[in-house]
A = this chain, B = another copy of it.
């Protein structure tokens, strides 16, 4: 059986990655492809790597154009999803790659996004405890943020098993520039970013912080607080997260490793690397895979977890397709690549 899927926001990086995956998906037929200011252009002029769809013309992003598909992907600026979704049939699977429906706490939404909260949808990270079941048959799904995906995969097993202290998580992530989007901004041009690194949103201001705290708190069963510093790395894709938390007294390396390995033993897209091997973002490029490695620094009393994902694949579009597969009752790995592109 083939499902039809529409993709809005097709001129951006999330939209382009969604189309790349959907064009290769054996059970999906790509229907409407929509955009805002680029409507009327051929996709080949905007996403020249999508060769099989090069001659498709972008339509306007309206409920009318999107309706009539089995699945509608929204890859829109935050704040734009709720209005569109409200005009789509309730039995259409609507998958929001934006932030609008991720947070459960309206106050957190308002503090970080400055608008009225649009409500919460099932959270599309099936590897978290209990989340997969909530996605089965769902017709509204919120795709996690790319940083939260990398952080929640890194730390959830320890909090779920009660091995980590909740009050002083410190996370530093390095992201490829595609995470900053496709809009041409002076600090994002190649001459500025190639060959250098810089931080941004330091001091607790990044909008993904409450999403991370929400996920970890759910797993821990108590409030987890976290310091998050994102940095921009000179690469187009990939996130390397260094996530550290204090270990509860008496917990040792073996117990920690067992908790993580148990948590992901049956997951098709997450792997704890053999000891001694460290993850590299290039190993998961273009794939829906996450690699983790763990270290227990007894001297500092901290657990350090390194995680890598491709921000556009597992961190956005791949995670979205994985959740779609679950919601539609397809095999969870359908249409998703396991191997990374390297070197």
A residues lining the B interface (CB < 8 Å): 13, 16, 20, 23-24, 44-45, 47-52, 54, 168, 170, 172, 174, 176-178, 180, 182, 184-186, 188-200, 202-204, 225-227, 229, 231, 233-238, 240, 242, 244, 246, 271, 273-274, 277-287, 289, 291, 293, 295-302, 304, 306, 308, 337-343
Contacts and interface: CB of A to CB of B under 8 A. Distances in A.
Contact of A48 (B233, B234, B277, B299): B277
A16 B342 CA distance: 8
A203 B295 contact: yes
A225 B302 CA distance: 11
Given A44-B274, A236-B343, A304-B227, A244 B194 contact: no
B202 A282 contact: no
Given A177-B194, A186-B182, A195-B282, A297 B242 contact: no
Given A198-B278, A199-B306, 17 more contacts: A13-B191, A44-B277, A49-B341, A49-B342, A54-B271, A184-B185, A189-B189, A190-B194, A192-B282, A194-B343, A196-B283, A204-B300, A227-B300, A227-B304, A236-B343, A237-B343, A286-B341
B188 A297 contact: no
A229 B302 CA distance: 11
A162 to B, nearest CB: 20
A234 B234 contact: yes
Nearest to A172: B172
A300 B226 contact: yes
A324 to B, nearest CB: 18
A333 B193 CA distance: 29
Contacts of A191: 13, 176-178, 180, 182, 188, 236, 343
A194 B235 contact: yes
A195 B197 contact: no
A196 B295 contact: no
A271 B44 CA distance: 12
B283 A202 contact: no
A79 B302 CA distance: 31
A195 B198 contact: no
Contact of A177 (B186, B190, B306): B190
Contact of A296 (B203, B236, B339): B203
A246 B168 contact: yes
A227 B278 contact: no
A300 to B, nearest CB: 4
A77 to B, nearest CB: 17
Contacts of A235: 194-197, 234
Contact of A337 (B24, B48, B172): B24
Nearest to A303: B203
Contacts of A233: 174, 197, 233-234
A304 B226 CA distance: 12
A73 to B, nearest CB: 16
Given A194-B235, A237-B343, A172 B242 contact: yes
